[in-house]
Amino acid sequence: MARTKANYQKRRKEILKEIWKIFMKYGYENTTLSLIIEELSISKGAFYHYFPTKEACADAAVDMYAKEYCQIVSNQIKSDKPSNVNLKNLMIFCANLSKENENDLQDINTPANRIFHQKLMAALVKEFAPLYAKVISQGIEEKKYNTKFPLEMAQMILTLSNFYFDADVFGWDLIEIPKKLLAFEELLTLTLQAKPGEFSFLQELL
């Protein structure tokens, strides 16, 4: 029984990786259930064995992607490091990870993938927020930060950093970004009641 379940999960993950590629290739809006089944070279019954709808397989693919990246990012939190170092490492690593995968994710910014893009952004916020909240809570214990809502604060920080700085969504001119990073730095400092200059490293992300 355990082996059967393991085989099911393994095959499901393999299919999800292919489904991700299909959405990147054709765009979520242009991808029909028939096209997915055709590209996967499986029967309709085999597909329904794993997913009830196109949206369900899209959500599962996004969830898998977000969890894999969350696992990678979680390694940046070190128990022997102070909270400000952990938070800095988290933010820098996430920014660099995004840049490294910029080419792979280029297709997700197309109009045909708008919904898929939104699903991914929401999934990343939900997965990453507990990591950030853990570090913020550590900072509260160390008297470096002060907030009654570490998880909600983490969710807002991630939503802002993922959405507001998305040049493809807003069409920002690159010359505007340094000023926006300064504003983000001020916002973090005030909301977390951190020391001035605590988030000055953000300018290094340009």
Distance, CA of 56 to chain centre: 18
Please check whether residue 152 lies inside any domain of the structure: yes
Render the chain in DSSP notation, one character per residue.
-HHHHHHHHHHHHHHHHHHHHHHHHH-TTT--HHHHHHHHT--HHHHHHH-SSHHHHHHHHHHHHHHHHHHHHHTT--TTS-HHHHHHHHHHHHHHHHHHTTTTTGGGGSGGGHHHHHHHHHHHHHHHHHHHHHHHHHHHHTTS---S-HHHHHHHHHHIIIIIT-HHHH---GGGHHHHHHHHHHHHHHHTTPPTTTTGGGGGG-
pLDDT at 103: 64
90: in domain: yes
The predicted pLDDT at position 1 comes to 58
Q: Token pair for residue 174? A: 């690159």
Residue 164 lies in a domain: yes
Alpha-carbon gap, residue 163 to 28, rounded angstroms: 20
> Rounded to whole angstroms, how far apart are CA atoms 149 and 147?
5
pLDDT score, position 111: 82
**Count of structural domains, the chain:** 1
pTM of the model: 0.88
Q: Does 38 map to a domain?
A: no
Are the CB atoms for 28 and 118 separated by under 8 Å? Answer: no
Residue 184 lies in a domain: yes
Specify the CATH number for the domain of residue 86.
Answer: 1.10.357.10
Domain enclosing residue 86, as ranges: 54-205
Averaged over successive runs of 10 residues, the pLDDT of the chain (206 residues) comes to 79 96 93 96 95 96 94 94 96 85 72 88 95 98 98 96 81 89 96 96 84
Please state, in angstroms and rounded to a whole number, the distance separating the CA atoms of residues 160 and 165.
7
To 5 degrees, how large is the angle CA 10–CA 121–CA 199? 120
Q: Is residue 36 part of a domain?
A: no
Q: Can you give the pLDDT at residue 181?
A: 93
Does 14 map to a domain? Answer: no
Whether residue 181 lies inside any domain: the answer is: yes
